């Protein structure tokens, strides 16, 4: 099945109104045959939506409850009201720093979908798990335990992000990327049958202009989730263009 590539940026805890020019420049360069998105801090969503034109603006997290006594948290309905069209869930930095579990990640994805958001659900192994030969088992177990009910490629994408590749400049070999994406696809087939073919599986971890074509060209790689290299148009646009060239 032909899956349209999705290239999403994760600005993490970067981005003030002074940076909206980058949002404008990225959206102006968006090709027709690729989906592009930027996941910005909560505080920047509304103004990034205004700057982004047709490009999708997303959040980096959402709370699993629709409302309630959760000081400092943001619900899916609030994200929708701010103009967001998607959210990340289960990023490894949140799994590590905020101790998010697979069950919580699943509940967050379900809450986001209920409110009408697209979701990018992140999974990935640590270096210790890879070195001990457990990478595929760990990642496919994360997929099984965090996949939301009713998972469908219309609103859900997965992002395979090896924890040791995030922000380090290190990437897995193309063979390892293809093998992991194949294992994730196989697990999805087991879990949701034919719907697995519609689901985009993004690769994330130190993607840049120099390695984007090779990583995006791997079997079963349907796009990229990009951190550091998404902060400026001069670094992010070449990655989007590499995806566009692959169709």
Q: Taking CB under 6 A as the criterion, which residues in 126-185 touch ligand PEP? A: 161, 166-167
Closest approach, Cβ 189 to ligand PEP, in A, equals 25
From candidates 90, 153, 162, 204, binder to ligand PEP by CB under 6 A: 204
Q: How many CB atoms neighbour CB 20 within 10 A?
A: 17
Asked if 161 is an active-site residue, the reply is: yes
d(CA 53, CA 32): 14
Contact between 105 and ligand PEP per CB under 6 A:
no
Closest approach, Cβ 116 to ligand PEP, in A, equals 23
Query: CA distances (Å), 208 to each of 129, 180, 241, in order?
Result: 25, 20, 12
Contact between 10 and ligand PEP per CB under 6 A:
yes
Cα dihedral 202, 206, 212, 214 sign: negative
Contact between 119 and ligand PEP per CB under 6 A:
no
Which residue from 176, 108, 11 is spatially nearest to 160, judged by alpha carbons? 176
Q: Which is nearer to ligand PEP, 192 or 207 (CB)?
A: 207
* Dihedral-angle region of residue 194 (phi above 0 means left; psi in -120 to 50 means alpha; beta otherwise): alpha
Q: Which is nearer to ligand PEP, 27 or 206 (CB)?
A: 206
Closest approach, Cβ 168 to ligand PEP, in A, equals 7
Given the residues 125, 161, 181, 241, the one annotated as active site: 161
The token pair at 6 is: 């999705």
**DSSP assignment, residue 158?**
E
Closest approach, Cβ 210 to ligand PEP, in A, equals 13
**Residue whose tokens read 């009201």:** 81
For ligand PEP, the nearest residue by Cβ is 227
Q: Which is nearer to ligand PEP, 10 or 146 (CB)?
A: 10
Q: What is the CA radius of gyration of the chain?
A: 17
Catalytic residues: 91, 161
């Amino acid at each position: 099945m032909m899956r349209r590539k999705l290239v999403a940026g994760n600005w993490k805890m970067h981005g003030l109104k002074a940076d909206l020019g980058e949002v404008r420049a990225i959206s102006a360069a968006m090709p027709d045959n690729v989906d592009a998105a930027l996941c910005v801090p909560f505080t920047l969503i509304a103004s990034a939506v205004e700057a982004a034109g047709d490009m999708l603006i997303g959040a980096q997290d959402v709370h699993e409850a629709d409302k309630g006594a959760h000081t400092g948290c943001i619900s899916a309905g609030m994200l929708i009201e701010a103009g967001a069209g998607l959210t990340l869930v289960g990023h490894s930095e949140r799994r590590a720093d905020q101790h998010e579990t697979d069950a919580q990640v699943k509940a967050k994805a379900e809450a986001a979908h209920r409110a009408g958001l697209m979701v990018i659900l992140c999974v990935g192994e640590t270096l210790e798990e890879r070195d001990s030969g457990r990478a595929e088992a760990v990642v496919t177990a994360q997929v099984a335990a965090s996949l939301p009910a009713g998972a469908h490629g219309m609103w859900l994408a997965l992002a395979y992000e090896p924890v040791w590749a995030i922000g380090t400049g290190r990437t897995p070999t193309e063979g390892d990327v293809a093998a992991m994406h194949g294992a994730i696809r196989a697990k999805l087939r087991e879990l949701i049958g034919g719907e697995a073919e519609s689901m985009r599986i993004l690769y994330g971890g130190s993607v840049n202009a120099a390695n984007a074509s090779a990583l995006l060209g791997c079997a079963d790689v349907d796009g990229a989730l990009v951190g550091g290299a998404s902060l400026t148009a001069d670094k992010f646009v070449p990655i989007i263009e590499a995806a566009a060239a692959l169709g």
